Each structure stands twice: as structure tokens, then as C-alpha cells.
Amino acid sequence: MISDLEFDSFDSEVDQLFRDAVAEANERGIAVNVPDEARVERIVEKAMHEAVIKDTATFFFRSFAAALAELLVAMLRAFIERNSDVKVSEDIPSEPPLRKPSTTTTHSKKR
């Protein structure tokens, strides 16, 4: 985005170009239709609103697909966990579980 100072500078340059063109046309005797300032302002405002709406819609629809995909993954994960004994990686502890000592002992034959 440009700053307000840059915008004002650019706006004044464009305005000066139009004034110079009108002055040159008057010197040559060419009839010039002076632009309707209010109409130009309405057109600019409408264009700015359309740009904001377009950008908002683009952001919404691009992020909507990602959010929907994450929701489906979460639902699928919940369904799988509910219907099976499969654990997802977040549920698996990082350290192996401690083994309980066996209550039955097996004796090996001595040779």
C-alpha cells in the first residue's frame, strides 16, 4: 500500500496533467468537455469498494477450503478413534510404557 503522502502527490500530479491538457486545448481552440468531478469521485469510490469486496471474497473462499479440509480431517480422526483401537500420533506417549513384572515365572532347564 502507498502512504497518504504518496497518494496525495500522485493525485496532484494527475490533476495537474488534466489542467495542462485543458489549458492546451483552450489555446488551440479545441472544445473540451470538463470532467464532472462528482461523477469521477463516484466512479473512484465504486472501484475502491469493488476492490475491497473482491479481496475479501478471495480471502474468504481460499481460507474456507482450508478450514473445511481441517474440519473433515478432525471428524475423520474422531470417527476412526471411536470405532477402532487405533491411536493417533498425539495419543501415543513419547516414552515406552514400563513393563510390569510377570507373575508367572518360567524355569529354564539346566543342562
Range 2-30 average pLDDT? 86
C-alpha separations of 61 from 47, 50, 56 in Å: 21, 16, 9
Return the amino acid letter for 15.
Answer: D
Predicted local distance difference test score (pLDDT) of residue 60: 82
Indicate the domain borders of the chain: 37-85
The burial class, CB within 10 Å (0-12 / 13-18 / 19+), for 47 is: exposed
Predicted local distance difference test score (pLDDT) of residue 26: 82
How do residues 34-87 score in pLDDT, each as one tens digit?
677 888 899 999 999 999 999 988 888 888 888 888 999 999 988 888 877 655
C-alpha cell at 91: 495419543
Give 54 or 105, the one with higher predicted confidence.
Answer: 54
The residues, ordered by sequence, that sit 6+ positions from 34 with a Cβ below 8 Å of its Cβ are 22
Predicted local distance difference test score (pLDDT) of residue 110: 57
